[in-house]
Amino acid sequence: MEQRVAIITGAAHGIGLATCCRLAAEGVSVVLTDIAPDACLNEASKLSDQGFECLSLLHDVADESSWSKVIDTVTERYGQIDILVNNAGIGTLLDIEQESEAGWNEMLSVNSKSVWLGIKAVAPHMVTRRQGTTANVSSIFGAIGGFGQSAAYHASKGAVTAITRNAAIRYAGDNIRINAVSPGFISVVREEKTIQEAGSDMADGIISRTPMGRWGQAAEAASVINFLVSSDASYVTGVDLFVDGGWMAAWRLRGCLAFVLVHST
């Protein structure tokens, strides 16, 4: 992983920051981007103090011109882009009837349009060098209906998973791998705050329905991202890898049991 350059979006906190720390520890030069420049710069300074090569940039992932500025700055400084981690995202608990058109548009812009823009901006540089890899952070809620809430969030993450598979096929011949990581419930500030707003029933339900009986840690998701962008995953592309403590396995089992019960009565 040494002498590689990675761009990580939404890097000021959570999974994005954990991924920066992990990749930096592997010898990767990391570019932290975020809509919150002060927080991003603060984290980059901490990494620099530890002797890691890093750069902090203001970045609106839903804006194509912002992507252009980031790419120009990175290529001017490092001359290459080897890894892209599309991590930036937002979330709400609003259901179909509660969600507004403005909220829907913002969710899809930040969570899924940004992934398209990121791949579109970075791919030409990877194609020229015939190497590179991308990890898109999706969600288990891109594959299931969850609790019947967060309609826009589910739609946006489903789009992330779909474009991951599409892009993986598109760029496989250029020796570029593109994969997705779909976390379950990870102990980060944004997610914990959202669950707290929903009430104790949802919080208790999350733990009771997770076979491993606990929340995941951001570093655990970052470890999976690190694997997917490393040479250890050289024959892996187009996958959506769940990091969920067994949630999806249990969810499918519950669906099968419900089907059996309905059709046995």
Q: What does the pLDDT look like over 73-129, one tens digit per residue?
A: 999 999 999 999 999 999 988 999 999 999 999 999 999 999 999 999 999 999 999
Helices (H), the chain: 14-25, 37-49, 64-78, 101-108, 114-129, 151-171, 189-198, 200-208, 218-229, 247-264
Of residues 194 and 58, more confidence is placed in 58
Q: Active-site residue 78, yes or no?
A: no
Residue at 199 is within a domain:
no
The 3-state DSSP class for residue 57 equals strand
DSSP string, 178-235: EEEEEE-SB--HHHHHHHHHH-HHHHHHHHHT-TT-S-B-HHHHHHHHHHHHSGGGTT
**The predicted structure's pLDDT at residue 263:** 43
Q: What does the pLDDT look like over 191-221, one tens digit per residue?
A: 556 556 555 666 677 788 889 988 899 999 9
Residue at 204 is within a domain:
no
Residue at 205 is within a domain:
no
Residue 234 structural domain: 5-186+217-245
Whole-prediction pTM value? 0.90
What is the length of the chain?
Answer: 265
Q: How many domains does the chain have?
A: 1
Q: Point out the catalytic residue in the list 78, 153, 171, 235.
A: 153
**The predicted structure's pLDDT at residue 261:** 42
Residue at 251 is within a domain:
no
Q: Which tokens is 107 given?
A: 């969710």
Average pLDDT over the chain, rounded to an integer: 91
**The predicted structure's pLDDT at residue 259:** 37
Read off the CATH number of the domain in which 37 is found. Answer: 3.40.50.720
**The predicted structure's pLDDT at residue 242:** 97
